[in-house]
Amino acid sequence: MNRSLLIYAALLLGSLGWAYQTWTHEDELALAEKVVLLPGSPDELVSVAYRSPELELTLEFREDEAGRYAWGRAEPKGAALEPPEPPPVEEGMEPLPPPPVPEPEEFKVGKTGDPVIEALAPFVAKRRIEGIADEDLGELGLAEPESSLEITRKGKEPKVFELGSNVFGGAGVYLRDPADGAIYLVEARLIRPLQGGARTLPDRDLTGIDERKVERVTLRVGDRQATFEQHNPDDAEAKYWSVAGEDDKSPEITAWVGKALRLRSTRYVQEGESLVDLANAFDFVVQGDDGEAVTVEVLRNFDDEGQEQFFARSPYTRGMVKLPRAAVAEASADLESALQAGGA
């Protein structure tokens, strides 16, 4: 065989091998270009704490029969506890009561927290900053840092990092390891959701199942029950709902299921918060195309002013959540028509 042909063949095989290595080790190559501050994986995380003059946020990692999840607690501090400015009052109107002072809030962390959690184990920096004299630390917000990030992993001592100011443009945050004084630049998108606390991290979903993956929904009201089936879930224009096992589209079922699957919580009910005279409004069971099923209980009672209010709980939420009155009222208005369409 021609010698040059053999050489070209060897080069081709080598380039294919290099391409395969690159493709199969993209994560390792990406990490190699950065600085690993803390090795590990998300499954090794025990807790994460962000502390600043205005907020102390802790994420505690728990596990139950439904899987692993993060439970958050956001506690306002300092200036965040100052009473908010009362709303303006027009002439001749009664003054409105002042807004409530922020209180500690607990919640299950939603999907918005997933990128942050995944980025903290391993925890990597964009680069190390060299040659910073002590007198220049103030320019980085690290002379007397007011914020910190504490990461605790299984079987390890907690690791604390000091947080400085954002770089120009806000894409990065300066960080210092107090153990050795090393200074790094980390991506601001990893820190910003923690700074948002209870505004950005709570899970508002009731089932955790993507609507496109929902196969069936069963509605239960008292001793009446009807099961519905989704068709063409990946086509927004062609998808519809029918009685389970049938192909005929039902506008009544489609309308009710759409409202039920769009229900989102407004907040988590806090420990010690009294909920009296709760009554079942309706239940619905959401089944995914993988066979997973989540039951959502929708409950109601009346507040001190006699206004109806709604709550929900499910294995996914891990706790009681409050629902928006208007959204539940709309879904409730369609219950009878959906049940009748389903033959119940």
Instruction: Parse the chain into domains and list their residue ranges.
Output: 32-80+101-199, 211-341
Contact 264, 205 (CB under 8 A): yes
Mean pLDDT by groups of 10 residues along the chain of 344 residues: 41 39 42 80 97 96 95 86 68 69 90 93 93 89 94 97 84 93 93 89 97 97 97 94 97 97 97 90 97 97 92 97 97 97 92
Residues 208, 317: Cα–Cα separation, whole Å:
9
Between CA 321 and CA 327 the distance in angstroms is: 14
- How far lies 111's CA from each of 116, 129, 201, 215, 292, in Å? 10, 32, 8, 22, 18
Query: What is the pLDDT at residue 83?
Result: 66
Helix (DSSP H) and strand (DSSP E) numbers for the chain: 7, 19
- Report the predicted TM-score, pTM, of the whole model to 2 decimal places: 0.82
**pLDDT, position 273:** 86
Residue 281 dihedral angles phi and psi, to the nearest 5°:
-90, -55
Can you tell me the distance from the alpha carbon of 51 to that of 197, in angstroms, rounded to the nearest whole number? 11
List strand residue ranges (DSSP E) for the chain, in order: 35-38, 45-51, 55-64, 67-76, 105-108, 123-125, 127-129, 147-153, 159-166, 172-176, 183-187, 214-221, 224-231, 240-243, 267-268, 279-288, 293-302, 308-313, 321-323
SS3 45: strand
- What integer pLDDT is reported at residue 12 of this predicted model? 38
State which amino acid sits at residue 233: P
pLDDT of residue 20: 46
